[in-house]
Amino acid sequence: MILLNSSIGNYVISNGKRYSYFGGNNYLGLASHPSVKEASIRAIEKYGVNFSASRRTSGTADIHLELERKLADFKGKQDSVIFPSGYQGNSILLEVLKERYSDVFTDQFAHSSILTGIKINPADIHYYDHCDAGHLESILDKFKGSYPLIITDGIFALTGEIAPLDKIYPLVKKYNGILIVDDAHSTGILGKNGRGTPEFFNLPADENIFQSETMSKALGSYGGFLAGDKIFTELVRESSATYQASTSLPPSVVAAGIASMEIIKDNPALRIRVLELAGELRKKISGLGFQTTTDNTPIIPVMVNDIDKAKHLSSFLEENGIIAPFMNYPSRQELYMIRVTVSAAHTDNQTDELVDLMSKWRRMN
């Protein structure tokens, strides 16, 4: 376990020592941005630490509404609705859309928040091979006549791969289905306006596409949100038990979300920077002979395929002042890897230093 004794930035303090930090998902470097922190502190001074009530009873504050407006503007949608965590977003969507599907088709390596959110009869859940739209089509065909809901990660958390929505979306149309994309890692990063994978693939505005999103990664704060037209957001507010029965997001978190939205709106260069940096780093890591993936996202897995070697690489980096965590995640227990995540706040010197050390490790192992 990596013990943090500081805020997260491109450097962290762990066990009292300073490290160059390639962990976490602080893609745009906003988690400890001075104006985000300042906004949080001001919100605590004004509102305290917690509203201590659900949105529906007495827990809705003016800043919740302001954040929802800002998120809706960012997404180019009429409205948005926020709730305590991104993890809940898939459950909420699967819950409020339940009248619209009979069968769920999901990627075999879907995130655990997707899998735990599916509450239908297991016989009606169908897994397609990872990112394989051809296989998805063959299963959709087999269950022709069902009402399909297709659900996938947008960017896969472990491997940084982008789901092939360009191939999946035509199947959603062909089989009259609906699509949910978990864009936890894509929101704020992919697409011309940072709106996630549907925008990245230039999918048309379509009321049958839903995105589950979080503020805890690129968006510099915490909490989940869903954006759409007012009919959809009302549906969530009126029929999601999770939304209705959870304490509202705390003031510091809401204010951080608002401040981060302002920064993101004024600084599109941040997402360009993180993707450029990640692209160069991925190329260099792959050039050293390490096995990685190819999509340009801030997540760079370094597959070592041997648990001891993967752990050794991570410890070697740590001994030399760099944190790049060893990962073994619920959905991919068989993958032994370190996961390098890039932030817009990283400097070229930091990435060079990482590449030099990885090269040294490779020569020794």
Ligand X SMILES: Cc1ncc(COP(=O)(O)O)c(C=O)c1O
**Tokens of residue 153, six digits:** 């990660």
Tell whether residue 213 is a contact of ligand X (CB under 6 A). no
Tell whether residue 157 is a contact of ligand X (CB under 6 A). yes
What is the rounded CA–CA span in Å between residue 310 and residue 20?
A: 19
Tell whether residue 328 is a contact of ligand X (CB under 6 A). no
What is the rounded CA–CA span in Å between residue 305 and residue 251?
A: 43
Closest contact distance (angstroms) between CB of 216 and ligand X is: 3
Closest contact distance (angstroms) between CB of 363 and ligand X is: 33
- Position among 153, 161, 199, 295 found at the interface with ligand X (CB under 6 A): 153
Closest contact distance (angstroms) between CB of 293 and ligand X is: 15
Tell whether residue 111 is a contact of ligand X (CB under 6 A). yes
Tell whether residue 191 is a contact of ligand X (CB under 6 A). no
Tell whether residue 182 is a contact of ligand X (CB under 6 A). yes
- Position among 86, 194, 196, 298 found at the interface with ligand X (CB under 6 A): 86
Closest contact distance (angstroms) between CB of 157 and ligand X is: 3
Of the candidates 339, 335, 347, the residue with the CA atom closest to the CA atom of residue 298: 339
Q: Point out which residues pair with 344 in neighbouring strands.
A: none
Whichever of 107 and 137 has its CB closer to ligand X, that residue is 107
Tell whether residue 267 is a contact of ligand X (CB under 6 A). no
Tell whether residue 68 is a contact of ligand X (CB under 6 A). no
Sign of the Cα torsion 181, 182, 184, 186 reads negative
CA 87 to mean position of chain CA atoms? 10
Closest contact distance (angstroms) between CB of 212 and ligand X is: 7
- Position among 20, 91, 106, 113 found at the interface with ligand X (CB under 6 A): 113
The window from 63-71, 82-90, 195-203, 296-304 that contacts ligand X (CB under 6 A) reads 82-90
The window from 16-24, 85-93, 189-197, 333-341 that contacts ligand X (CB under 6 A) reads 85-93
- Total residues binding ligand X (CB under 6 A): 12
Whichever of 146 and 343 has its CB closer to ligand X, that residue is 343
For 155-292, where are the alpha helices, taking DSSP H only?
Answer: 165-174, 197-200, 230-239, 241-244, 251-266, 269-287
The window from 35-43, 83-91, 292-300, 348-356 that contacts ligand X (CB under 6 A) reads 83-91
What is the rounded CA–CA span in Å between residue 18 and residue 10?
A: 10
User: Long-range contacts for 29-33 (Cβ within 8 Å, ≥24 apart)?
Assistant: 29/270, 29/343, 29/344, 29/345, 30/218, 30/219, 30/220, 30/221, 30/260, 30/263, 30/264, 31/7, 31/220, 32/7, 32/8, 33/220, 33/259, 33/260, 33/263
Give 278-306 as a DSSP string.
HHHHHHHHHHTT-B---S-SSEEEEE-SS
β-pairing, 178-182 vs 299-303, is: unpaired
By beta carbon distance, the residue nearest ligand X is 86
Binding site for ligand X (CB under 6 A): 85-87, 111, 113, 153, 157, 182, 184-185, 214, 216
